[in-house]
Every structure is written in C-alpha cells, then in structure tokens.
Amino acid sequence: MEDVVEKEAIDLTMIDEVCAEYKGRKGATIPVLQKVQEHYGYLSSDMIDRIGENLNISSHTLYGVLTFYAQFYTTPRGKYVIRVCRGTACHVKGSGRISEVVKEEFGISNGETTSDIKFTLEEVSCIGACGMAPVIMINDKTYGNLTPEQARSIFKEYAQKQD
C-alpha cells in the first residue's frame, strides 16, 4: 500500500533566504539542500527548482547531488520515523515481526509514510545496538530487547501524541 500525499501550496520564501546566505559561495549546494530539507522535511521538485533558480544551478545537477546522498528525501517523511533494525542479531531475535506490527498498526511497509504524515517506516541494516536485539529507533530514541507486544505498545503511545 503506497500512500499518496496531496500536493498543497507550500510557501517557498524560506528557500530564497537560505540561498541568499550562500549565494556565490563554493560548496553551497549541500548546506543549502540540508537547510531546506531541515525546514520542510523533504525536497520536492518545486523546492529543487527554486534552489536552482536562486543558485543558478540546473535542477538536473541538484537531483544528481540529492539522489547520491542517502540523507536527502524527495517525498514527505513522517513526524516519527520508525527504524526497525534488520541486522543479523535483530533478525534472529524477531525484528521481522516488529515490522509486521508497524504494518498492522499503521498500514505501511518499508519506505512508506502514513497519509497523515505522522509515521514513516525504515528497515535498516544495523542500528549498532546488537546486544539489545531486537532494536528499533523512533527518531533519535532507541528501544531494545523488544517483543512485538512491547513494540505495539510503544507505537500506540506515539500515535496518541498530540504534539
């Protein structure tokens, strides 16, 4: 199931401000992309076009940069990014079942975002906490030694947050 996010008008004036700060500086491309993504959460084609116009760089060149680096996203990501470790230790201890719980709770699979843009699921190669397998991260918070039931409880807590 792939959720499609409705395209709505986004105020792109912040891009002009960021680009003005970096205009004419060598090596500006990545910092500008980072700041714009930090503000909007992703980099849409309209955003890329606006950056290109401001910095006098082709959109094609900008896409080459942002698709090369894994840190950039071209579609909106959830407020809460759930990373499920699929490394060997986590796999052996049942992290696949935790991914299934995400699908049951939110109706999304690896790489997908809920239609309300609250949750994104990313299955990752390794989180680096093998001694706590199976492990997930929600944004920057790590949860380890999880059962599917514990994971479900954590996901429900985040789903109820009104922030």
Q: List the chain domain ranges.
A: 13-68, 80-160
Instruction: Determine the pLDDT at residue 49.
Output: 97
Give me the mean pLDDT over the 61-90 stretch: 94
Per-residue confidence band for 70, with pLDDT thresholds at 50, 70 and 90: confident
Task: Measure the CA–CA gap between 7 and 25, rounded to whole angstroms.
Answer: 32
Q: Is the CATH number 3.40.50.300 carried by domain 80-160?
A: no
**Predicted structure pTM score:** 0.77
pLDDT in tens, 4-39: 444 457 899 999 999 999 988 999 999 999 999 999
Q: Provide φ and ψ at 7, rounded to 5°.
A: -85, 125
Q: For residue 68, give both structure tokens.
A: 């090369």
Query: Which of 106, 105, 126, 128 lies closest to 116 in space, CA to CA?
Result: 106
